Amino acid sequence: MKPDSPLLKSRSFRERGIVLMEVTVALGLTVFLALMVMRGSLLAISGNQWIVYQTLSDAYLTRETALANRIPMSDLTASSSQWPDQNKDNPPFSTQTVTLGVLASGKTVQAQVTRFRTNETPADTVDLTMNVWRVHSVLTFAVGEHTYAKTRTTLRTQ
């Protein structure tokens, strides 16, 4: 800008200090932008955490399904069953702390699994002497401030 520019000429000695304010405002806006970017990064990381927990919990629930299918019927209906009868046993369910996996940070992820079974034998098939049990597993885990529950049910007949 030329020294005799009208812009410079129009500024008084006091007004020249405004340049400092302009620079400060510009850098303040830059910092605000950086804060927004950081907020976006935080949201992305938290979203990743949610996906990680879903992946780990889905993987663990394959164990519940496999176990419910594999356990002998005598063990399933025994008094010491891992899946107590919801209507007859006391307590009507069992709760266990399980490990879902390990994160990249080395943190071990744990959750609570609650198991119980319900008698689903139809009333009109008594003459067939058939027993039908629905085996329930409820996995409860926390991601941040929210608590999530996932269930798997398996039908067993004898």
Partner 1 sequence: MKPGALQPTSYRGNTGFTLLEMSSAMAVLMILSSALVAMMQQHVTFLQMAQQQLFLTSEAPKIGNLLNRILNSADHYFVYPTKEAALGIGAPTLNSGSAVKLFFKSAAQTTDFRVLCIEPTKTGSALRFYTPASTAPEHFWTVSSQIHSASFKSEEGILSITLIGPANEQITYYGGAR
Q: Where along the sequence are the contacts to partner 1 (CB under 8 A)?
A: 3-4, 8, 11, 13, 16-17, 20, 23-24, 27-28, 30-31, 34-35, 37-38, 41-42, 44-45, 48-49, 51-52, 55-56, 58-60, 62-63, 65-67, 69-71, 101-106
Q: For tokens 């009333």, what's the residue? A: 123
Task: Tell me, rounded to whole angstroms, the distance of Cα 152 from its chain centroid.
Answer: 16
Residue found by looking up tokens 């005799």 in the block: 4
Q: C-beta of 87: minimal distance to partner 1 in Å?
A: 26
* Cβ at position 23, least distance to partner 1 in Å: 6
Residue (32 or 87) nearer to partner 1, CB:
32
The rounded distance, in Å, linking the Cα atoms of 38 and 46 is: 12
Q: How far is the CB of 120 from partner 1 (least distance, A)?
A: 21
CA distances from 99 to 39, 59, 112, 116, 121 (A): 31, 11, 9, 19, 33
